[in-house]
Amino acid sequence: ETVMTQSPATLSVSPGESATLSCRASQSVGTSLAWYQQKPGQTPRLLIYHASTRATGIPVRFSGRGSGTEFTLTITSLQSEDFAVYYCQQYLNWPPWTFGQGTKVEIK
Amino acid sequence: QVQLVESGGGLVRPGESLRLSCADSGFTFSGFYMSWIRQAPGKGLEWVSYINSDGLIFYADSVKGRFTISRDNVKKSLFLQMNSLRAEDTAVYYCAREDNTRSGHYLPYWGQGTLVTVSS
């Protein structure tokens, strides 16, 4: 099983600043890495797939990078609606498809 | 506009069964690969089960032998039969669907979730 580890667990950021979230895989997943955003009480929303491709309707302030075992999600100029929990998911080595434990981006 | 709507959640006792349904309002359903994902209260996302258009099926170790995934392409519906439920199965259960590119099991489409509570 490919274990996905996200860091930090919580990131405190002021509105307008940037945030960089990390996701590490226990073995290579190539670029088969997705990022999701989940707000309280809401369904997860796909942000990024193939490590760096924005999903339909996702603002350009969200960007993904990485390959192999190290990935980052960067959110530039954080807006109020961006404060949420973010999950990474690998889809190369399956089953199982595995998620990270999440990073909460909170208002500083 | 793709819309997935789950139903069937509820409160059950340990050892009991429950059947979840997920109705897809999209134009086509039969060709899509789908999964059930769950989220325990206050916890992260956990993949539970997968089914593709050819009937290939996988389960997480935590539910293998107890849960059964199936689909009805005529009714455009996905199901999860959950038997021998345990307290640790308590979660919101989401059905989720791939897009049509066959480029990997990332999930652009999710239902709103249905809550399953297992408690005595």
Is residue B94 less than 8 Å (CB to CB) from chain A?
A: yes
| pLDDT higher than 90, residue B58 | yes
* pLDDT recorded at residue A90: 98
> Can you give the pLDDT of all 108 residues of chain A as single tens digits?
999 999 999 999 999 999 999 999 999 999 999 999 999 999 999 999 999 999 999 999 999 999 999 999 999 999 999 999 999 999 999 999 999 999 999 999
Structure tokens at A72: 């980052």
- How far is it, in rounded angstroms, from Cα A50 to Cα A33? 5
Distance from CA of B18 to the nearest CA of A (A): 22
| pLDDT higher than 80, residue B27 | no
Strand duo A62-67 + A70-75: pairing? antiparallel
| pLDDT higher than 80, residue B1 | no
Is residue B117 less than 8 Å (CB to CB) from chain A?
A: no
Q: Which residue of A has its CA nearest to B5?
A: A43
Q: What is the end-to-end Cα distance of chain A in Å, rounded?
A: 35
Distance from CA of A80 to the nearest CA of B (A): 22
Contacts of A42 (CB under 8 A, 6+ apart): none
Residues of B in contact with A101 (CB under 8 A): 44
Residues of B in contact with A99 (CB under 8 A): 44-47
Q: Cβ(A90)–Cβ(B41) under 8 Å?
A: no
Look at the block and give the residue holding tokens 């100029």.
A77
Mean pLDDT of chain B: 95
Is residue B42 less than 8 Å (CB to CB) from chain A?
A: no
Distance from CA of B33 to the nearest CA of A (A): 13
